[in-house]
Amino acid sequence: MRRIKVTETTENKDLVQDVQAENEVEETEVVEEQKAELTLEEQYEAKLAELQAKLDDEESRHLRLRADFDNIRRRNQLDREAAEKYRAQSLLSDLLPVIDNFERALQVEATSEETASIVKGIEMVYRSLIEATEKEGLQIIKAEGEQFDPNVHQAVMQEQDSEKETGVVLRELQKGYMLKDRVLRPTMVSVNE
């Protein structure tokens, strides 16, 4: 602001008023510019805060999508592994009655030389079948003399044997089989009371 010495003349009074008016206008303009700058700064800060919030939301969304993708990939991997591990389940389940029939056929006593050769042929085929199924992971569930386990045994009758503990499998009525760690068919058993 300028300071001017003023004399008491009318002309000078007018000049002084003009200078004061100009000074006031200049001060007002400076204050308005500062307000405009603050307003512009505040606008930028508000816009920056808004953009930061959007960025945070998108990062969060990206992380959730990535986690979902990783979960789906892991689930698919587990499904593929299970499908590979148990790929032969259906075939082996269908072969269990065939194995039972071979075992029944092998229980027949050979009375003649001809019957003995037939039984020997059946036994060879049976062994080949058992070896092939074992390669795929088929296992016989042990039962006789074992403690009854409802996960792998199916009790169809109870008997009493005072020499053995309660809950012990006394007889195996039909073989049970597992494919790796999955029960294909539980063993039908008779359990001690």
33-80 pLDDT tens trace: 655 566 788 888 889 999 999 999 999 999 999 999 999 999 999 999
Q: How far apart are CA 183 and CA 140, in angstroms?
A: 10
pTM over 0.75: no
Burial environment of residue 133 by CB neighbours within 10 A (0 to 12, 13 to 18, 19 or more): buried
pLDDT tens track for 131-140: 999 998 999 9
